[in-house]
Copies of this chain bind each other. A is one copy, B any other.
Amino acid sequence: MGLRSGARERFLSACLGAPTDRVPAWAMRQAGRYLPEYRALKEKYGFSALVHEPELAAEATLQPIRRFSELDAAILFNDILSVPEALGQGYAFRDGGGIAMDFTLDSAEKIRALGSPEDVPARLDFAARALRLVRAELGGSRALLGFAGSPWTLAVYMVEGGSARQFAKIKRLAAEEPALFDALMEKLSDAVAASLNLQISAGADAVQIFDSWAALCPAAEYERLSLRWMRRIAAALPVGVPVIVFAKGMAHFAREIADAGAQVLGVDWTRRLSDVRRIAGPRLALQGNLDPAVLCFSDERAVRSRVRGILDEMRGERGFIFNLGHGISPDAKPENLAAALDEIAAA
């Protein structure tokens, strides 16, 4: 098998565990506030327009691609809360940071009143249009990623009413009204599947599911609260489109996540990738796991040395995609991401 050198092929080969000429790389939240060109765009149009207007979403998606030639994948500029919004529960960002949903999903009536998953594709048409614009611009030069929040992670925001400290509401719902919880999760799973299928139809080569709140789940409940819904989603997607699951704090479930239909596991920085590989077996590709705080450092040599540490750990392994262990923070320095990507391209 020859080694393809295009970025798109490199990325997709790594998802499937096939050999690549070098480790492919992208960064969670690579389109975002750490980029001055993003801040200018956001200042001019506002966050909501950047999400909802296809030309602006495409522009935000492409900004990091223009700046960093070594990025192997573009990921649609969007927000995981677009799916709750499409179901009728909008959101905003609090001034002090964190998310405020327009209301708290705190009754069976409100859960039943959510929109239908069937209407999700029409309501997320802006995302499909943005993806088509990006796809045309990229012309196959990069892999194009769609994404969504996991049903559990969305349910946490929806039932808690936004960013929370205690998370007792969602856990109480799951424990004390299991049928109602299941009904909500079924709806969310179908809505997420509809969103991902829409994105795939519009040109996404792979999709990532953010199970960002995975670590709220007790181990004995992870299957019931989150995994089974991701399995339902994976089963509703076309075969051959890689599914990446980012399950923060839950790499010890690598095998179960693979069994649920993931081809790639996104790993946070608390685990050595080589340890996760041992847990996961060779079938699951891994993605990660540079501590995003490293991109805030003032000395680029420290950034390069951390990146080399990760590359050394995975040297000779197939099925590896370089990424961060979490999204880029707003005070990251773009030149540090450039240095990290340069180190990968040179390796």
Contact at B166–A296, with CB atoms within 8 Å?
A: yes
Residue A252 interfacial (CB < 8 Å): yes
Residue A16 interfacial (CB < 8 Å): no
Could you say which of A269, A291, A331 has the most chain B C-beta atoms within 10 Å of its C-beta? A291
Contact at B298–A271, with CB atoms within 8 Å?
A: no
- Min Cβ gap A335→B in Å is 15
Contact at A331–B218, with CB atoms within 8 Å?
A: no
Contact at B219–A270, with CB atoms within 8 Å?
A: yes
Residue A315 interfacial (CB < 8 Å): no
Residue A234 interfacial (CB < 8 Å): no
Chain A, range 165-204, C-beta contacts under 8 Å to B: 165-168, 171-172, 175-176
Contact at B331–A172, with CB atoms within 8 Å?
A: no
Residue A266 interfacial (CB < 8 Å): no
Complex contacts, A171 vs chain B, CB 8 Å = 291, 293-294, 296-297
Could you say which of A176, A219, A220, A297 has the most chain B C-beta atoms within 10 Å of its C-beta? A219
Which of B252, B275, B298, B331 sits near A166, CB closer than 8 Å? B331
- Min Cβ gap A278→B in Å is 11
Q: How far is the CA of A289 from the CA of B215 in the complex (A)?
A: 13
Q: Per-residue 0/1 for A265-278: is the Cβ within 8 Å of any B Cβ (1 yes, 0 no)?
A: 00001111001000
Complex contacts, A176 vs chain B, CB 8 Å = 297-299, 302
Contact at B252–A172, with CB atoms within 8 Å?
A: no
Contact at B220–A272, with CB atoms within 8 Å?
A: yes
- Min Cβ gap A168→B in Å is 4
- Min Cβ gap A90→B in Å is 23
- Min Cβ gap A303→B in Å is 9
Residue ID in chain B nearest A221 by CB atoms: B291
Residue ID in chain B nearest A175 by CB atoms: B302
Residue A139 interfacial (CB < 8 Å): no
Contact at B252–A252, with CB atoms within 8 Å?
A: yes
Chain A, range 211-248, C-beta contacts under 8 Å to B: 215, 217-220, 222
Contact at A218–B168, with CB atoms within 8 Å?
A: no
Q: Per-residue 0/1 for A249-286: is the Cβ within 8 Å of any B Cβ (1 yes, 0 no)?
A: 11010000000000000000111100100000000000
Whether A249 touches B249, Cβ cut-off 8 Å, given contacts A172-B298, A219-B270, A298-B172, is yes
Q: Per-residue 0/1 for A310-347: is the Cβ within 8 Å of any B Cβ (1 yes, 0 no)?
A: 00000000000000010001010000000000000000
Complex contacts, A2 vs chain B, CB 8 Å = none
Contact at B293–A168, with CB atoms within 8 Å?
A: yes
Complex contacts, A166 vs chain B, CB 8 Å = 293, 296, 329, 331
Ordered nearest first, which 4 A-B pairs have the shortest CB separation?
A: A168-B296, A171-B293, A218-B269, A219-B272
8 A–B contacts, CB within 8 A, in A order: A171-B297, A172-B298, A175-B299, A218-B270, A219-B272, A220-B272, A252-B252, A252-B271
